[in-house]
Amino acid sequence: NAGVTQTPKFRILKIGQSMTLQCTQDMNHNYMYWYRQDPGMGLKLIYYSVGAGITDKGEVPNGYNVSRSTTEDFPLRLELAAPSQTSVYFCASSSDRAPQPQHFGDGTRLSIL
Q: Which residues bind another protein (CB under 8 A)?
A: 35, 40-45, 48, 58, 88, 90, 97-99, 101-102, 104-107, 109
Whether residue 19 contacts residue 81, with contact meaning beta carbons closer than 8 Å, is answered with: yes
Spatial CA neighbour of 87 closest among 55, 47, 41: 41
Residue 84 CB, nearest approach to another protein (Å): 18
92 forms bridges with which residues in the sheet? 33, 104
57 forms bridges with which residues in the sheet? 47
Coil, strand or helix at 85: helix
Residue 79 CB, nearest approach to another protein (Å): 25
Pick the closer one to another protein by CB: 17 or 43.
43
Spatial CA neighbour of 32 closest among 3, 60, 8: 3
Pick the closer one to another protein by CB: 2 or 41.
41
Pick the closer one to another protein by CB: 79 or 96.
96
Residue 80 CB, nearest approach to another protein (Å): 27
Pick the closer one to another protein by CB: 85 or 107.
107
* Residue 33: other Cβ atoms inside 10 A: 23
